Each structure stands twice: as structure tokens, then as C-alpha cells.
Amino acid sequence: MQKFIGTGVALITPFKIDLTVDIDALVKLVNFNIENGTNYFVINGTTGESGTISKEEKQLIIDVIVKTNNKRLPLVLGVGGNNTLEVVKELQTRDLSEIDGILSVVPYYSKPTQEGFYQHFKAISEVSELPIILYNVPGRTAKNMEPETTLRLARDFGNIVGVKEAGNNQQQYNSLLKDKPADFLVISGDDDLALGVALGGGSGVISVIGQAFPKEFSKMIQLGLEGKNEEAYKIHFKMMDIIDYIFEENNPAGIKTVLQELGICENNVRLPLVKASAELEAKISKYVSDF
């Protein structure tokens, strides 16, 4: 699973002013990241506003990214939810021939037990022909998948190859890194903790800010993977403020504002999300102009 080591980016879905998918901006974003050091792409994750993307739009986004990418970088597709049967059905019916892996979120809203989490991902594992990266994000799902459950899944199912941890919980990262199988990937889903995870034996990051500053962020993670902490932290310290800014109100309003400042896309988001406030936009604009 070397293809999922380093810096993956959770791509936004750019929207025009009428909130249709901005294909030209998406093409620009993909090429910008390929040309500047990103290691792989994650499609239709939280940052892509998957909750407000229709099935038809999801396929359009996949098609545009596949064509633009042209096999240059590995592609990971978000396929998850709290309806296990529907997730299984999507994996069985969607054309995944151009996809390298699946990112599947812990079931949300339903708040299952740890055994429920295990059985959900067991059902997904049994039908997936692609490697699966679990996605644990308790701030959004309302319940944490404990390290013991994640490691049980890692041991029991060969196609469950990693976990994207996004609980902003250093102790949980440490528990996973301490007890994981040798080839199991612990991937940071927290941009602010990503370097520490890489230095501690993790496999990198699936990043939000990385798509705006791919050259710098991917270099930082690579330095971390190589154990070059002093050089890596110089970049980390430079990026601390912008990482805070993009999550200050909501994701992806913050990162879309950064990308607007860089001339890549507009900062339109779909309700119930709203654009970054004028105050936040001013802070982001100053950071980008000074970077």
C-alpha cells in the first residue's frame, strides 16, 4: 500500500455562483496538485461536500478527475454512510475500474456500538475488491471508533489497509501506532497533528490545506516520514495559522477561500454551509499574500 503513503488531499468540489459543479476549476485544482507534489487524491469526502452532492454529480466529479488525472496519481473514493446495505450496494454497482482505494466513514447519526462498527465494516470488506481505508471522525459522526475496534478490523480483514484518524486525539493516534499490524496505515486526518503522526510512525495525511499549498505541505510530510523533524517543523510552524483559519468556521468554506485567493476557484459552498465571514476572509487573504 505504498501508494497511500505521504500526502493525500481531500479534494473540494468547486461550485459556480449558481452552485453547479465548476468543472474548469476542478481540472485546474487537480493539475495544480499533481504538478506540486501531492501523492494521491481523495474524491467525495467530507471536504468535497459529499452530503450535498447528488449521485449524478458524484459520477460527474469522478469522471472529470479520472480524465484529468490520467493515471498520474492514485485515486481514493469516498463510499460510506450509516446505511450499511446502501454502502454495500454502491460498492457492488459503481464502476470502480479507475479507482485505487475506498475511504469509508464510520457510520454517523445511528451511534452504533463498537460491535456495530465492526459488523458494518465487515460487510463492506466482504464485497470490496479494492483496499479500504477506514475514516474515523467522531466530531462529525457523534461516536468514536475505539482503537481496539480499528485494530480488530485491521487484523481480521486483509483489504482493510488503513485508517484515517480525524479525532484530534493524540492519545488515540499513539494507541494505534503502538499496536497496529506492521503494514497497517495510520493516516492523519488532522492537519495540525499530521507532522507528529508522521514522525511517530504514521503513514502521512489526508489533508485539507495540502491542496492549497501542496509543494510545502507534501515536503513537510515527507521530511516527517524521513525523521527530519527540525526541517519539517520549520514548515509546520509557517503553516500553523492557516491551518487554524481554515477550520475556524466550517470546512470547506475556509479552504475554498484560500483557493479563491490563489485564483483556483470561487469560494461558493452549498447550504447548510455558508461562506467564510468577512473577518475570516480578511485573515486568510493576508496570510496568502504574505506567504
Catalytically active residues, by annotation: 135, 164
DSSP 142: S
3-state secondary structure of 134: strand
Q: Are 163 and 187 in contact (CB under 8 A)?
A: yes
Q: Are 46 and 52 in contact (CB under 8 A)?
A: no
Dihedral sign for Cα 198, 12, 128, 168, please.
positive
Contacts 24+ apart (CB under 8 A), 231-235: 232/195, 232/198, 232/199, 233/195
Residue at grid coordinates 492537519: 191
Strand partners, 101: 76
Contacts of 2 (CB under 8 A, 6+ apart): none
Q: How far is CA 277 from the centre of its chain?
A: 24
Q: How far is CA 241 from the centre of its chain?
A: 20
83/171 Cα distance (integer angstroms): 30
Rounded to a whole number of angstroms, the CA Rg of the chain reads 18
Other Cβ atoms within 10 Å of 286 Cβ, number: 13
Residue at grid coordinates 504574505: 290
- Taking CA atoms, 8 is separated from 1, 34, 107, 230, 241, in Å, by 13, 11, 22, 22, 21
